[in-house]
């Protein structure tokens, strides 16, 4: 079954694929989407067990997530696209760029990592969600997604993202945690040949700047940009700066 998706923008424009963070739906891109869709063909999709995509039947890993995206591109007749992946979506984008290089034009890796910390912690989170649901980890996750200042200033936005997280199927979330536990791409970063922009939030506790710096150092000719005052969902906290950087990287001189 194909991943749930939306494809918007001019039919003749270059394609930009947006890959979501764990525990979100394609609506995570709402703040930036209007800035891209004028001159890009924007493809958004939901990971398995998230939003409108059916959950995984068995165990999940980043390879399987990437193959699902390849199947989606094939079904839509998209041979080549640029990719912007955030967090878990960034892992999928890295896998695609190294494994299916002919499919990736430009690459944006946002708030992501070649290794997301201690695998035991991710497996423990998966067990907790399977026992008690996503509600059990919501406060901790939202505390990583947004800075305290943003949470205080935009309670409605934070409440909407809490609802998004808690609507994620427990197994879909837990299986994705298992995928992150197994993810370690540090030795493969040099295989990425697509022009790469690494974006990070300077105040991100989930993937701190050191994670972005490791990516930029390991990927040939990668460019690094850190957004001040942003936590994990930099695309939500600083949508104008984030969207402008992505658009400039994907379109190059055409972005002017």
CA–CA separation, 79 and 102 (whole Å): 8
The neighbour count for residue 214, using CB atoms within 10 Å, is 16
The neighbour count for residue 123, using CB atoms within 10 Å, is 16
The neighbour count for residue 175, using CB atoms within 10 Å, is 25
Residues in the chain: 256
Mean pLDDT of the chain: 96
**pTM higher than 0.75:** yes
Domain total of the chain: 1
**Candidate from 85-89, 191-195, 207-211, 250-254 with smallest mean pLDDT:** 250-254
58: pLDDT confidence band, cut at 50, 70 and 90?
low
3-class SS of residue 232: coil
CA–CA separation, 5 and 155 (whole Å): 28
Residues 6 or more apart in contact with residue 152 via CB below 8 angstroms? none
Q: Count of H helices and E strands in the chain?
A: 11, 7
**CATH number of 192's domain:** 3.40.50.1820
* pLDDT digits 0-9 by tens, 82-114: 999 999 999 999 999 999 999 999 999 999 999
Strand 41-45 and strand 81-86: the pairing is unpaired
* pLDDT digits 0-9 by tens, 144-177: 999 999 999 999 999 999 999 999 999 999 999 9
For residue 199, the enclosing domain spans 5-255
Cα dihedral 72, 78, 79, 81 in deg (nearest 10): -90
Burial class (CB in 10 A: 0-12, 13-18, 19+), 213: middle
Closest among 212, 248, 249 to 227, alpha carbons compared: 212
Please state the rounded mean pLDDT for residues 203-229: 97
Long-range contacts of 241-247 (CB under 8 A, 24+ apart): 242/32, 242/110, 242/199, 243/31, 243/32, 243/35, 243/36, 244/35, 245/108, 245/197, 245/199, 246/16, 246/32, 246/36, 246/84, 246/108, 246/197, 246/199, 247/35, 247/36, 247/40
CA–CA separation, 156 and 215 (whole Å): 33
């Amino acid at each position: 079954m194909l991943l749930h998706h939306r494809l918007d923008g001019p039919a003749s424009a270059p394609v930009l694929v947006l890959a979501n963070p764990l525990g979100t739906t394609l609506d995570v891109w709402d703040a930036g989407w209007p800035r891209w869709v004028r001159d890009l063909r924007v493809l958004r999709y939901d990971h398995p067990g998230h939003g409108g995509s059916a959950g995984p039947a068995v165990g999940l890993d980043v390879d399987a997530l990437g193959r699902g995206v390849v199947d989606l591109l094939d079904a839509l007749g998209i041979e080549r696209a640029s990719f912007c992946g955030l967090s878990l979506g960034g892992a999928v984008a890295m896998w695609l760029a190294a494994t299916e290089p002919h499919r990736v034009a430009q690459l944006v890796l946002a708030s992501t990592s070649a290794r997301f910390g201690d695998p035991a912690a991710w497996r423990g989170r998966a067990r907790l969600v399977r026992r008690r649901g996503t509600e059990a980890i919501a406060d901790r996750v939202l505390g990583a997604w947004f800075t305290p200042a943003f949470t205080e200033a935009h309670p409605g936005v934070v409440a909407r993202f809490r609802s998004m997280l808690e609507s994620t199927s427990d197994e879909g979330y837990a299986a994705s945690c298992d995928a992150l536990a197994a993810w370690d791409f540090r030795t493969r970063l040099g295989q990425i040949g697509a022009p790469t922009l690494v974006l990070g939030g300077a105040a991100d506790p989930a993937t701190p700047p050191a994670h972005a710096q490791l990516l930029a150092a390991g990927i040939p000719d990668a460019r690094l940009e850190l957004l001040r005052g942003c936590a994990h969902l930099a695309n939500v906290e600083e949508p104008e700066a984030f969207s402008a950087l992505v658009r400039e990287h994907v379109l190059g001189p055409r972005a002017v």
